[in-house]
């Protein structure tokens, strides 16, 4: 798909820059990007054909000669700036497009119905044109914390090579009136350029709260309205898939909820799935495990734990204890982890 046949490396799909300053001290002000879309054109024109790699710098040659931008992400890794390259500058709210590495849909343990539904999104991102007006556009992931929602979104990105734009919804709430709404609009513009891509709104409940909660935060309403407008998407936005994630499904505003054509539930792992999670992750331990470690027994004792709880509070704690003891991972290390988790915290199911 290279539009620049002279160069050997492929045309970059996107380049993310971060203002790095001048090479020498100066009294000049730091230039600020006020019009991201215009900047994209400006940047592409002056750096057309330049090969780009993460960690390198690009120097402005026009308005602010020698002002440096650090390249903080490029897709693919070895690439050249071409006509179709999207150039974005990381701003205060980092929503840096990235293609999540290595994780696949099959790595998500359990969540069978979620996986089936995500296969459809995978098909769509692989070939948006074929869906025409029947595109899955707005999908909601809901379920307790630590059950694999973010992991699934990353897997979708990884398997389809579609960049993911991760947005923490709380970061949309700006300092000034109108800021949040403007940010949402910009995000969708950026997404359209990057398409096929995934816009991942994490912690959606933080902005799309039921109206009865919104009374408390007037500015939020305007952000929700902006989001609704974009989600309704009168414009053609082929290849942009919005995924919202929340673990407070019932607090979501019904008008926001109704915009999602598909709601995908993530559940806490059952006994079999807990055994699978424990054994799958234990295989990646850097040290060996004693044969006497019984994952069935541990899984029985961890009813109500999420995948994240099992990884972070059980496996990791047991492993670290074994490393401290300079031995293999033993049953007593897991006993220690379980005792510790019972004292220090409550499984996430109670917060659901
Ligand atoms: N079903 C699962 N299969 C395999 N690993 C899992 C699963 N669920 C959780 N994990 C592990 O827990 C980590 C955290 O999960 P993830 O970030 O996807 O949770 P989440 O549902 O997005 O939670 P939150 O609502 O708090 O954002 C994953 O990176 C993975 O290591
Ligand atoms: Mg998450």
Name the residues around ion ligand 2, CB cutoff 5 A.
149-150
In this predicted structure, what is the pLDDT of residue 190? 84
How close is the Cα of 199 to the center of ligand 2, in Å? 13
How close is the Cα of 150 to the center of ligand 1, in Å? 6
pLDDT digits (tens, 9 = 90+) for 198-239: 999 998 888 777 666 655 556 677 788 888 888 887 666 789
Atom 31 (ligand 1): residue with closest C-alpha?
A: 308
Cα–Cα distance, 49 to 6 (Å, whole number) = 9
Mean pLDDT value of segment 105-131: 94
Ligand 1 shell residues, CB under 6 Å? 108-111, 145-151, 247, 266, 277, 307-308, 311
In this predicted structure, what is the pLDDT of residue 108? 96
Contacts of 283 (CB under 8 A, 6+ apart): none
Cα–Cα distance, 94 to 152 (Å, whole number) = 21
How close is the Cα of 220 to the center of ligand 1, in Å? 28
Instruction: Report whether 189 contacts 153 (CB < 8 A).
Output: no
How close is the Cα of 287 to the center of ligand 1, in Å? 23
pLDDT, greater one: 173 or 158: 158
The phi, psi pair for 320, rounded to 5°, reads -60, -40
Ligand nearest to the CA of 311: 1
The helix/strand/coil state of 210 is coil
In this predicted structure, what is the pLDDT of residue 8? 63
Instruction: Report whether 242 contacts 199 (CB < 8 A).
Output: yes
Instruction: Report whether 72 contacts 5 (CB < 8 A).
Output: no
Q: Which domains does the chain have, with CATH numbers?
A: 10-89 (3.10.330.10), 105-265 (3.40.50.300), 271-350 (1.10.8.60)
In this predicted structure, what is the pLDDT of residue 7? 47
In this predicted structure, what is the pLDDT of residue 111? 96
Q: Is the model's pLDDT at 1 over the cut of 70? A: no
Give the lowest-confidence range in 44-53, 74-83, 183-192, 313-322: 183-192
pLDDT digits (tens, 9 = 90+) for 339-348: 998 877 655 5
What CA dihedral angle connects 324, 325, 331 and 335, to 10 degrees? Answer: -60
Ligand nearest to the CA of 103: 1
pLDDT confidence of 6, banded at 50, 70, 90? very low
List, in sequence order, every residue forming a beta bridge with 138; answer none if it has no partner. 242
């Amino acid at each position: 798909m290279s539009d620049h046949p002279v160069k050997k490396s492929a045309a970059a799909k996107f380049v993310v820059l971060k203002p790095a300053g001048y090479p020498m001290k100066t009294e000049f002000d730091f230039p600020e990007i006020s019009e991201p879309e215009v900047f994209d054109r400006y940047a592409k024109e002056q750096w057309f054909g330049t090969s780009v790699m993460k960690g390198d710098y690009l120097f402005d040659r026009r308005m602010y000669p020698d002002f440096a931008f650090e390249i903080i992400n490029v897709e693919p890794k070895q690439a050249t700036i071409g006509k179709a390259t999207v150039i974005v500058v990381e701003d205060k709210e980092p929503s840096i497009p990235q293609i999540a590495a290595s994780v696949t849909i099959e790595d998500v343990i359990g969540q069978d119905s979620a996986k089936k539904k995500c296969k459809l999104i995978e098909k769509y991102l692989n070939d948006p044109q074929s869906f025409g007006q029947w595109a899955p556009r707005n999908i909601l992931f809901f379920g307790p914390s630590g059950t694999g929602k973010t992991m699934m979104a990353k897997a979708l990105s990884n398997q389809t090579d579609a960049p993911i734009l991760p947005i923490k919804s709380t970061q949309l709430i700006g300092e000034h009136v109108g800021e949040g709404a403007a940010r949402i609009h910009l995000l969708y513009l950026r997404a359209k350029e990057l398409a096929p891509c995934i816009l991942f709104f994490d912690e959606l409940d933080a902005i799309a709260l039921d109206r009865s909660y919104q009374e408390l935060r007037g500015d939020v309403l305007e952000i929700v309205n902006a989001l609704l407008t974009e989600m309704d998407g009168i414009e053609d936005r082929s290849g942009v898939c919005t995924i919202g994630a929340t673990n407070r499904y019932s607090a979501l505003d019904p008008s926001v909820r109704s915009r999602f054509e598909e709601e995908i539930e993530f559940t806490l792992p059952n006994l079999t799935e807990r055994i699978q999670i424990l054994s799958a992750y234990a295989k990646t331990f850097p040290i060996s495990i004693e044969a006497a470690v019984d994952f069935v027994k541990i899984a029985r004792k961890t009813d109500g734990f999420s995948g994240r709880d099992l990884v972070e509070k059980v496996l990791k704690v047991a492993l670290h204890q074994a490393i401290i003891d300079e031995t293999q991972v033993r049953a007593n290390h897991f006993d220690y982890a379980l005792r510790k988790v019972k004292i220090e915290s409550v499984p996430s199911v109670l917060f659901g």
